[in-house]
Chain A
Amino acid sequence: MKASIGMLVFSFVIALTSVGVGARDIWPTPPVMDAKPTQVSGPLRGGTADHSKFEELKGIFLSGPEVTQACLGCHTEAGKHFMHNIHWTWSYKDPDTGQQLGKRYLINNFCTNSRGNEGMCAQCHAGYGWKDETFDFSDESNIDCLVCHETTGTYYKTPNTQGSPACSVMFEGKPPIDLAAVAQSVALPRRANCGTCHFNGGGGDNVKHGDLSSALNAPPRTLDVHMGEDGLNFACTACHITNRHVWAGSRYHVISKDTEGTGKPGQRTDVATCESCHGLAPHPVDSLAQFKLNDHVQSIACQTCHIPEFARGGVATIVDWDWRTSGKIKNGEGYHEENYIQGNGDRRYTYKSIKGDFTYGEELIPEYDWFDGQMVYTTIDTRFDPQAESIEINGFGGSREDERSRIWPFKRMHTWQPYDKGKGTLVYTHLWGEDDAAYWGNYDMGAAIAKGMADFGLDYSGEFGFIQTISWWPITHMVAPKEDALGCGDCHTPRNSRLASVEGVYMPGRDHNRWLDIIGTLVVAGTLAGIIIHALVRFFSSKPNGEQRR
């Protein structure tokens, strides 16, 4: 049995490698490769309809919304369902903190804010035409079904507004889209559909998350044991299960410790936790070590051991961004430098006039800390000390004593970004636009902030500066095969412990009581010394005439 599985996997690998790897950075959606095995999605599998046979999808489509109307003609409730979902609303009100979150409102430490820049940023809104505050969130035909469901790899989106010529040049010269062919290709979302936006968050491949990159479009099992094409070949929705177009798994509402496990058959369709499939005792108990590992589930998130490094697979992530150096001009124009070559050979921007300097990292060891699942955000409304050395964009809590907390891995993102120095708040920066204030094209930070704030009726002191900000990204993808997981000794060691900075618990191997060790060593050494002295005295005081010592 084992041998035949081995042969199967082997022939699989051969098949895959012969198909070839290239052609994967076409703008969004999955490349056409019929030889690819079908990705495994959630509960819905093996559909009963062939969309290429539908009359409704044959017609000439002049725009995306016309396709959407065709979709809604049969999927009558899909629009209503979809409108509850964060991909549409870009809004989330935290029930515990009361904070208004969501992309629509938040400030991050990458491109800082989508608000006021929707003309550019809303390319990743799962809808059509969000330019500004006038967008109609109640019009179902504005939903973009294709970006998630099409499978030809020919569909793409461009910014909803023109923007400055300095930027719009990037989007020129794309081939036209055959909307009918695209519409007929629809299927359950594949990794590349989700990856269109989620792999490119923060303005480029793997820039933001560190554990979500284009390397996951066609990953080997060693990069991600679930998504690996030579392994389980999971699509995102295999774990991020869907109920009426609402997905499990959220960065605003993190389940740091799942205490329910798999549940009964048919239950647990509401979470994307490891435990919801693997249960609460995930390690087969065939040794003492495995027994101890199952105990550790109470204190250690699965991700901590099973994602030993992130930004693997040849695609780097940005770990440091310096907006202070943005705005430099050569010959009256902005420019960029590409001085980082990442693992897969691609060059990455290390400087852009519109954004500043970037520092990249690959195969990074995460930061670790107790995490209770609750992020508290520094929003546009949050006041802080303008003299503060740094502020956390999304601070989090957790401790050994808190029963929801476990030790989690994080990507730490450090940025120097503009803020209101007079008032002590973050700012909305007007980056994208055709006007004279848009930073991208005009490079006047003061004017961009003044307009970004004024457009939403927000007070701005008129004096901006740059402040260090930290954001924390819980690492949960790029799960390594078990043979690559961390070993006990990676944490339980007095030197270079992975968890060296984690407080609140005594860890054998990492910790010791200094005084006990000193006293214990002295007692043992003293005993040895005593024995030696005793033996020497016996030796030299013995009778020289050879009479037996007694």
Chain B
Amino acid sequence: MTMQRVKIFSLFERFWHWTQMLLIFSLLLTGFGLHGSHNIFDFEDAVTLHTGAALALLLLWIFSIFWLFTTRTWRHFVPTIIGLWGVLRFYGYGIFKSERHPYRKAYWRKHNPLQALAYLMLKIVLFPAIWISGLAYLFYFSWRDVPHATQWLNGVALVHTAAAFAILTFVLIHVYMLTTGHSFRDHLMPMINGFDEVNLSPEEEAYLRQDQPADIS
């Protein structure tokens, strides 16, 4: 096992990440504007931006889901408890003692166990909660005549707003995490140029050098 600089984020994944970042940022900004938390936009503009960004994000997610399953990269997000405690202990204690982050990226495990779990929850809990409630919200007038529609609408609004608060919280922690472990820049660059230090097995290294020499330096 040796540390190598390897391309771990493909062009599409980087495009996905940064587009998603922009869309989620504008959704949060316009969404809390619609909610009445600030007055940066007028309501009509906020609705237009919010709905447009939401539909674009849904399209992006359709592509990304297709990507995850065709490239088998979904496996990065399978939860594991192996090493989870070590990571938790690091953020809660070891980090203050200037310990070294316990996790080493592997070629088929580019997220640490806590990261993988957090992203998985984001993908299967928070995101579905926000887009399902959001679509129900957007198309309220197509179901306004079902029984108890107003109570349902209340619930939809509640779920949507709660999910927004949760995603905002995630974003805050996510950005803060970039400052831990390596430097902020070290965390950021892989998502820009795609390359990061990864523990490679001799077989993986041999494979990459033979078949994908551009992905390893």
Within the complex, the shortest CB–CB distance from A515 to chain B, in Å, comes to 10
Chain B residues lying within 8 Å of A534, measured Cβ to Cβ, are 176
Q: How far in angstroms is the closest Cβ of chain B from A3?
A: 29
CA distance A85 to B157 in the complex (A): 50
Chain A residues with CB under 8 A of B48: 287-289
Contacts of A505 in B (CB 8 A): 150, 153
- Write the chain B residue with the least CB distance to A520: B165
Query: Which of B34, B181, B182 has a CB less than 8 Å from the CB of A509?
Result: B34
Inter-subunit contact A524/B169 (CB<8 Å): yes
Interface residue stretch chosen among A109-117, A208-216, A384-392, A542-550: A542-550
> B35 at the A/B interface (Cβ < 8 Å)?
yes
Residue in B36, B47, B142, B162 whose beta carbon sits within 8 Å of that of A494 in the complex: B36
Once the chains are docked, how many angstroms separate the CA of A329 from the CA of B99? 98
- Chain B residues bordering chain A, tally (CB within 8 A): 42
Most buried by B among A289, A403, A508: A508
B190–chain A nearest beta-carbon distance, Å: 17
> What chain B residues lie within 8 Å of A537 (beta carbons)?
96
CA distance A4 to B34 in the complex (A): 41
> In the complex, which residue of chain A has the Cβ closest to the Cβ of B182?
A550
Q: What CA separation (Å) do A306 and B42 show in the bound complex?
A: 19
Complex alpha-carbon distance, A508 and B172, angstroms: 25
Decide: B154 and A506 in contact? CB cutoff 8 A: yes
How far is B158's CA from A506's CA once the two chains are assembled, in angstroms?
10
Chain A, 486-518, CB within 8 A of any chain B CB: 487-489, 492-494, 504-506, 508-513, 516-517
Q: Which of A168-176, A291-299, A314-322, A417-425 participates in binding chain B?
A: A291-299
B35→A512 contact, CB < 8 A:
yes
Give chain B nearest CB distance to A254 CB in angstroms. Answer: 21
With both chains docked as a complex, state the minimum distance between the C-beta of B162 and any C-beta of chain A, in angstroms: 6
- The answer to whether B154 and A508 touch across the interface, beta carbons within 8 angstroms, is no
Chain A residues in 8 Å Cβ range of B211? none
Q: Which residues of B contact A492 (CB under 8 A)?
A: 34, 43
For window 30-51 of B, CB contacts with A under 8 Å fall at 34-36, 42-44, 47-48, 51
B36 and A512 form a contact (CB under 8 A): yes
Minimum CB–CB distance for A509 against chain B, Å? 5
* Interface check A14, CB cutoff 8 A: no
A541 near B36 (CB under 8 angstroms)? no
Contact string against B for A residues 27-54, beta-carbon threshold 8 Å, 1 for contact and 0 otherwise: 0000000000000000000000000000
Contact of A531 with B by CB under 8 A: yes
Q: Given A287-B48, A506-B150, is A531 in contact with B173 using a C-beta cutoff of 8 Å? A: yes
* CB-based contact B161/A543 at 8 Å: no
Residues of chain B lying within 8 A (CB to CB) of residue A403? 145
A512's partner among B99, B140, B161, B172 (CB-CB below 8 A) is: B161
Asked whether, in the complex, the Cβ of B141 is within 8 Å of the Cβ of A528, the reply is no
Q: Is B95 an interface residue (CB 8 A)?
A: yes
Contact with B along A174-211 (1 / 0, CB 8 A): 00000000000000000000000000000000000000
Question: Is residue A324 within 8 Å, beta carbon to beta carbon, of the partner chain?
Answer: no
Whether A26 sits at the interface, judged by CB under 8 Å, is no
- Residues of chain B with a CB closer than 8 A to A400's CB: 150
User: Does B210 count as interface, using CB distance less than 8 angstroms?
Assistant: no
Tell whether, in the assembled complex, residue A288 and residue B172 are in contact, meaning their CB atoms are under 8 Å apart. no
**A508 proximity list for chain B (CB < 8 A):** 34-35, 137, 157
**What's the nearest-Cβ distance from chain B to residue A533, in Å?**
11
Contact with A along B132-171 (1 / 0, CB 8 A): 0000010011101100001001100110011011101100
Chain A residue numbers with a CB within 8 Å of B97 are 541
Q: In the assembled complex, which residues on chain A have CB atoms less than 8 Å from the CB atom of B144?
A: 298-299
Shortest C-beta distance, B199 to chain A (Å), equals 17
Closest to A505 in B: B150
Smallest CB separation, A402 vs chain B (Å): 11
Judge whether A487 and B176 touch: CB under 8 Å.
Answer: no
A527 to B175, CA, bound (A): 12
Choose one: A295, A493, A520, A521; the contact of B141 (CB below 8 Å).
A295
Are B98 and A487 in contact, with the CB atoms below 8 A? no
Q: Measured between alpha carbons, how far is A514 from B36 in the docked complex, in Å?
A: 12
Which of A511, A531, A550 lies in contact with B98, CB distance below 8 A? A550
Q: How far is the CA of A115 from the CA of B110 in the complex (A)?
A: 89
Docked Cα-Cα span, A135 to B144, in Å, equals 52
Cβ-defined contact, B43 with A531, below 8 A = no
Q: Is the Cβ of A523 less than 8 Å from the Cβ of B100?
A: no
A509–B35 Cα distance when bound, in Å, is 5
- A538 contacts chain B at the CB level, 8 A cutoff: yes
Which chain A residues have a beta carbon within 8 Å of chain B's beta carbons? 287-289, 292, 295-296, 298-299, 400-401, 403, 487-489, 492-494, 504-506, 508-513, 516-517, 519-521, 523-524, 527-528, 531, 534-535, 537-538, 541-543, 547, 549-550
28 contacts between A and B (CB under 8 A): A288-B47, A288-B51, A289-B44, A289-B48, A292-B47, A488-B44, A489-B43, A492-B34, A492-B43, A493-B36, A504-B150, A505-B150, A508-B34, A509-B34, A512-B36, A513-B157, A516-B165, A520-B162, A521-B165, A524-B168, A524-B169, A527-B169, A531-B173, A531-B176, A535-B179, A538-B96, A550-B98, A550-B181
